Every structure is written in structure tokens, then in C-alpha cells.
Structure 1
Amino acid sequence: MTAYELHIVFDCADPDRVARFWMRALGGYDFPTPVPDGFMTWDDWADAQQIPVDQRPTGRTLVDKVRDRPDIFFLQVPEAKVAKNRVHLDIKVAPGLAGDERRTAVDAEVDRLVELGASLVRRTDEPDGYFVVMQDPEANEFCVA
């Protein structure tokens, strides 16, 4: 049986903004390579290579520098998000915790993510456990559990 690599891809209007949110939200992720020596930005490098603006990459990539989690790609698309995600991320911050201890850990992470630019959608307390539905800066849904 073949094992495949898994990458996560977000369509978004502002790849840099969304990538920077998820980099801070998930921890351990960073951009894959620094800007080449002698250049302040990738656009400066592209200018030096005479790459036309309309042919430059319109996305960002995050790679896990700490563990072995999937790469995350953020691709610029012209259309806005119009409906609920069909796939979303779950950020597990309270594995093995229950009751008030679990709620405290989840709520602390929710507060941190709101400070980074996320929005709270709803808190849900079900028999299976407590979790919070949130949105990133471009309204992509995710859960904190």
C-alpha cells in the first residue's frame, strides 16, 4: 500500500495574512525558507529576476519546524468565501482533560486565538465534550476542543 503525503490547502484573498494567523495559532510552523541574501522581501528578489508581477506566486506556505505535521498552503483566489467549509481543522488543546479543567483549557486557547484575529462563532457543550467553533481572519471555520 502506498503512503501519501498530506498537505492542507486554504483558498483565500490574502494568503500572507491568513498564513501568519495560522502560523501563530498552531505554533511550530514557519515559512519554509528565508528571503535570499541581499534582498529584503521576495518581491525584491522577483524584481531582480525580472519576473513580471502577474507571474509571481500568489500564495504562502507553512512548514512544521518542530514536529512532522502536514505542510499548509494558502492560495490566493479571486472569489470570496460564500458558504460553510466542507472540511475544517480541529485544534486539540485539551486531550485527556474533562469537565471544568477541559473547559478552562479550551477557553484559554479561544481567548488567545481571538487576540490573533480569530472570531468566536459558538460554544457547544455536548455529551461528547465541550468545544468552540471559530473562524480565522477570512471566516474559515475551525474548532477548538
Structure 2
Amino acid sequence: MTPDIHIVFDCADPDRLARFWMVALPGYDFPHGPPDGFATWEEWADANQIPEDQRNSGRTIVDKEGRRPDIFFLRVPEPKTTKNRVHLDVKAGGPFPDAERRARIEAVGEQLTAAGGSIHRRVDSAEGFWLVMQDPEGNEFCVN
């Protein structure tokens, strides 16, 4: 059997981070809605007497086409303190001429800033142009 991967983010607010990454990675969504008989997950949690402080302990998002790994957001008590040793690249530029590629990258950067991320820096070098960004909890990623 060949192992698969599940990407995991430790974070303070799994729901917020999952929603940010669904904007960053089109095609990702929550795996399913609430169980039959419940209009919302909140209603289900109330019916099952799940304490408020345990309701946002984790979230999973999945690629609806099943081609990319699932991403799990796990609530942890400690804050992020140092630079990531692993990061995601959001491939937005595509195989276009430099000006169009740059415009596509900047447009995605603006979209992700509106969703709660921030541009840490712009890199413009002989190797190309990309954005180094941070998600709402400071996790670094690149848009290239």
C-alpha cells in the first residue's frame, strides 16, 4: 500500500483558517454538510450537548475533485513562534508572459488579503516574481 498525505496546520481558530484556505485554494470545501435532520453543524452540536469550547477544535477541507490532499486545521493552545519549515505554494501565475503572470499573482494576492491574509514581501529576481504571504495566523506561503 502506498502512503498518502494529509496536510495539517496547527492553529488557534480552525474554522477561520479553513475558510481562508478555501479562498486561497479554489476547489477545496468542507467535506459535507451537517447530518440529516440538522440544518447546521451548530444545531447538531447543541443536540449532542457538545460544549462551546470544543466546537472549533478542528476542521477539514477536501479537494472536491479528489486530486489534492485533504487539509486539516487542528486547534492547539500555543501560538506560532517561528518561521515555517514547510510551506505551501499557491500556483496562480501560470504559463503566461511575465506581465500577465505578474498581474495574475498580484490579483490573487489582493483576493487573499481581502480574505484575511497579508503580503509579507514581493520577490522580484532573476528567478521570477512571487509574493511571500501570511495567512490570518501568520503561516507563510507563496503565491507564484
TM-score normalised by length of structure 2: 0.90
Who is 1:22 aligned against?
21
Contact 1:61/1:73 (<8 A) preserved: yes
Are residues 1:9 and 2:12 paired? no
Contact 2:132/2:143 (<8 A) preserved: yes
Query: Distance in 1 between the 2:108 and 2:54 partners?
Result: 39
Who is 1:114 aligned against?
113
Q: CA-to-partner distance for each residue in 1:30-80, whole Å, 9 max, x for gaps?
A: 111110122233343234234556766710000111351100000000000
- AA aligned to 1:142 is F
Q: 1:1-145 counterparts in 2 under 5 A?
A: 2-51=1-50, 58-145=57-144
- AA aligned to 1:76 is R
Residues 134 and 57 of structure 1, relative CA distance in 2, 3 Å threshold = closer
- Aligned residue-pair number: 144
Identical columns (%): 60
What stretches of structure 1 of length at least 5 have no aligned partner?
none
Residues 132 and 55 of structure 1, relative CA distance in 2, 3 Å threshold = closer
The alignment yields a C-alpha RMSD, in angstroms, of 1.8
TM-score normalised by length of structure 1: 0.89
Contact 2:12/2:79 (<8 A) preserved: yes
Query: Distance in 2 between the 1:73 and 1:61 partners?
Result: 4
Contact 2:33/2:41 (<8 A) preserved: no
What stretches of structure 2 of length at least 5 have no aligned partner?
none
What is the DSSP-based 3-state SS (H/G/I as helix, E as strand, rest coil) of the residue aligned with 1:79? Answer: coil
Query: Distance in 2 between the 1:29 and 1:129 partners?
Result: 27
Contact 1:12/1:75 (<8 A) preserved: yes
Query: Distance in 2 between the 1:47 and 1:62 partners?
Result: 23
- AA aligned to 1:77 is V
